[in-house]
């Protein structure tokens, strides 16, 4: 899979961990920044990652911040993006299975490293089950 990553300064460390983890699993990673812990405005880095998914340049994206809330809100403003803010394995599983989430948002200040990597793996490996959920997703694209 080709996976875009984006973070603000508060999510930088986890972005770097996930970048190495995904590369070790054989995924192609597109790093949209930020590239340090220097304070930045998160939309400058989250929006490009989400847009890569919306345009089909990447299969999925993972975005990071302190809580992940602002990052999820920013990503979800892009038509065609379904970003799930996840905090445990179940939320990651349901985000994929029921909502076909193509972007994952994680909060570095709220998750331990091991838990965060497990969430990423769960989200990547869970298929969308389709069925009745397809109609709900179509409604998201209606004005």
Residues annotated as part of the active site: 71, 98
Q: Check if the beta carbon of residue 46 is closer than 8 Å to that of residue 71.
A: yes
Q: Which letter, b or e, does each residue of 100-135 get, where b requires 16 or more Cβ atoms within 10 Å of its Cβ?
A: bbbbbbbbbeebeeeebbebbebbbebebeeeeeee
d(CA 6, CA 105): 10
Q: Are 64 and 71 in contact (CB under 8 A)?
A: yes
Q: Give the integer Cα–Cα distance in Å for 31 and 125.
A: 21
Angle at 93 between CA 126 and CA 113, to 5 degrees: 100
């Amino acid at each position: 899979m080709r996976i875009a990553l984006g973070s603000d300064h508060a999510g930088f460390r986890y972005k770097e961990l996930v970048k190495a983890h995904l590369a070790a699993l054989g995924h192609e990673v597109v790093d949209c920044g930020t590239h340090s812990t220097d304070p930045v405005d998160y939309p400058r880095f989250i929006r490009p990652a989400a847009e890569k998914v919306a345009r089909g340049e990447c299969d999925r994206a993972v975005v990071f911040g302190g809580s992940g809330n602002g990052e999820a809100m920013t990503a979800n403003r892009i038509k065609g993006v379904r970003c799930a803010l996840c905090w445990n394995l179940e939320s990651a599983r349901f985000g994929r299975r029921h909502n076909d989430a193509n972007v994952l948002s994680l909060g570095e200040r709220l998750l331990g490293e091991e838990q965060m990597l497990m969430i990423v793996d769960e989200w990547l490996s869970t298929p969308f089950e389709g069925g009745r959920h397809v109609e709900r997703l179509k409604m998201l694209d209606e004005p």
